Structure 1
């Protein structure tokens, strides 16, 4: 497959960690043109890097900014080609199959981390995919959700991937929990807080925008965990 060959060449030419963004697709904006090394459409056969929604590009931009250019990104597009129903926020995907397949694809590509800034409810197929990814040593970072509940809907996934899977809640710029965040209700899964209110990022059109929600807190944690993992590996290898 030509794309896979190109992706492998890009990764082998760089020592950077590789992060999978499972989302609505990512545009190669100016900041991301040398960062996003490829895209797989897991829900259709649409042209690469031409997303219908801004969400995935916003998430990828936050990862790149937080990592200060220290990672490469592969986009795994899972949004429904039919689009989002009225009053639903993208990316929308009514089936678990493309999402589970995207996680497995990320494992096959040998990524270091997976970012899932999706409205996920516990689903057996996705839960088992998270378990498989975590068993391979891959970091799995998931948004805790924006329903303002005292129980995230994806705790089974977090438990399945423990200790490499983590849920991320959103705070405001002062560090206070955002009212829309699904909050932790137990201590047998990992849950962290990151800024998720008015996070600066870029739209698919390359315009400066701000994102609010756990979707935009999760990529901050993804970048931090990937960089921390890289420092640990370097220390073990005696390279720093």
Structure 2
């Protein structure tokens, strides 16, 4: 949520501005369908895995806490998804659907996967979304990130995004409980977008955006700017809306088998980063009505997860944007006062954010509340051992004996003196 440095734009055209997941690995089996490979003509399958990120985030414990409080995750909250559209077959509750491009048909996987991570309803005992009781406001702003007029598909264009944000703002002001706006895109710095972000914040909605994926090839629009990792790189100068104030910028971790601890191969360093979340091995909905896997780490998926956590928290606390974001930052596993360009304040911790007692000022300054322990009866203090007791005991007795001898000597002295005197006279 830092201020951007002006004058630096995304390399390439606006049409190539979308942040998408890293190139997908081939699906190994029908039940292992990769979300990025599924199309509307692919046979739907039901991926039977449990979501690895939700396991890492401890969502079972969160559910238990919410059940204890009599709440459902995301209950009553609306989350806007400004993306490629959400497939009608996705099992989410819709608060509305609008398209800001000519076609309302959804063919690209991204927006559907994002919506599923935020509010996908469970499929049997398989959890999909973090806040399944939340409703999704579907705001479609493109058909395909590399679309063109030649094939009749719309790429990402800033005017469509601005129009979608304005629509979200109108709905928030009209009474819709719109508390989160997910914009999993990378756009050039544009004052129109920044202005809408600021207005949404004032209207009670937090914009969440990805901090930036590392380019995976020369055809990536960020490749010219970040062809390889260079110490000191900073995507805050390039990736928007993540670089704006009043935006929660989210990165991803490298959790997953064989990936190690360093996320640098998947994400850009970005001083605007606020939080991170695990993403590899996530489960969401595909555009053809099935479920699918998100096999690689990606900041878009991380932004979706944090959007879900925010919706969940707002369904419990109903706070201002400043307080809601402060709650997330104060309970992450790092230090909000010493953020780093890979994870910001650290990995989001939903259970901590839900349960830790915090007192947060209106400007978002948190103060941890001290929980007083239950009163206990205090035991009498134990007297420390007297290491000189035996010495004093002996000294007393020697003193008594010495004193008795002295008294005896004083008493006997006159008697002895008289006896000596008689002996002298006799002599």
Q: Which among 162, 186, 193 is matched to residue 119 of structure 1? A: 186
Unaligned runs of 5+ in 2: 1-73, 120-127, 173-177, 216-225, 227-232, 320-427
CA shift, 1:190, in A, is 5.2
Q: Which among 53, 66, 83 is matched to residue 108 of structure 2? A: 53
On the 8 A contact 1:143/1:214 being kept in 2, the answer is: yes
CA shift, 1:84, in A, is 2.2
Q: Which piece of structure 1 moves more, 70-79 or 222-231? A: 222-231
Q: Are residues 1:219 and 2:304 paired?
A: yes
On the 8 A contact 2:209/2:303 being kept in 1, the answer is: yes
Q: Which residue of 2 aligns with 1:26?
A: 86
Across the two proteins, how many residue pairs are aligned to each other? 205
- Pairing of 1:144-183 with structure 2 (within 5 A): 144-147=211-214, 150-152=233-235, 153-154=238-239, 158-161=243-246, 165-174=247-256, 176-177=262-263, 179-183=265-269
Distance 1:63 1:20 in 2: 10
Whichever structure has more strand as a proportion of its residues is 1
Q: Which among 94, 107, 114 is matched to residue 169 of structure 2? A: 107
On the 8 A contact 2:207/2:248 being kept in 1, the answer is: yes
CA shift, 1:102, in A, is 0.7
Q: Which among 192, 206, 214 is matched to residue 275 of structure 2? A: 192
Q: For residues 103-148 of structure 1, what are the alpha-carbon distances to aligned partners after superposition, in whole Å with 9 as ceiling and x for unaligned?
A: 1111111121100111223222211111111122211100112136
Provide closer, same or farther for how the CA distance between residues 53 and 82 of structure 1 changes in structure 2, counting only shifts above 3 A. Answer: closer
| Length-normalised TM-score, structure 2 | 0.44
On the 8 A contact 2:85/2:106 being kept in 1, the answer is: yes
Provide closer, same or farther for how the CA distance between residues 176 and 77 of structure 1 changes in structure 2, counting only shifts above 3 A. Answer: same
Distance 2:287 2:86 in 1: 7
Unaligned runs of 5+ in 1: 1-13, 235-240
Distance 1:197 1:140 in 2: 23
Provide closer, same or farther for how the CA distance between residues 30 and 143 of structure 1 changes in structure 2, counting only shifts above 3 A. Answer: closer
SS at match of 2:76: coil
Q: Which among 232, 235, 240 is matched to residue 317 of structure 2? A: 232
Distance 2:141 2:280 in 1: 25
Distance 1:81 1:147 in 2: 20
On the 8 A contact 1:55/1:91 being kept in 2, the answer is: no
On the 8 A contact 2:251/2:273 being kept in 1, the answer is: no
SS at match of 1:160: coil
Q: For residues 74-116 of structure 1, what are the alpha-carbon distances to aligned partners after superposition, in whole Å with 9 as ceiling and x for unaligned?
A: 100000589626xxxx9931x3111011111111111211001
SS at match of 2:80: strand
Provide closer, same or farther for how the CA distance between residues 40 and 19 of structure 1 changes in structure 2, counting only shifts above 3 A. Answer: same
- Pairing of 1:65-84 with structure 2 (within 5 A): 65-80=128-143, 84=147
* Structure (1 or 2) with the larger CA radius of gyration: 2
| Length-normalised TM-score, structure 1 | 0.75
Q: Which residue of 1 aligns with 2:98?
A: 40
Provide closer, same or farther for how the CA distance between residues 136 and 68 of structure 1 changes in structure 2, counting only shifts above 3 A. Answer: closer
Q: Which residue of 1 aligns with 2:399?
A: none
CA shift, 1:224, in A, is 0.5
Provide closer, same or farther for how the CA distance between residues 210 and 91 of structure 1 changes in structure 2, counting only shifts above 3 A. Answer: farther
Q: Which residue of 1 aligns with 2:407?
A: none
Distance 2:253 2:144 in 1: 32
Q: Which residue of 2 aligns with 1:238?
A: none
SS at match of 2:244: helix
On the 8 A contact 2:158/2:187 being kept in 1, the answer is: no
Distance 2:242 2:284 in 1: 27
Q: Which piece of structure 1 moves more, 167-176 or 130-139? A: 167-176
CA shift, 1:233, in A, is 2.4
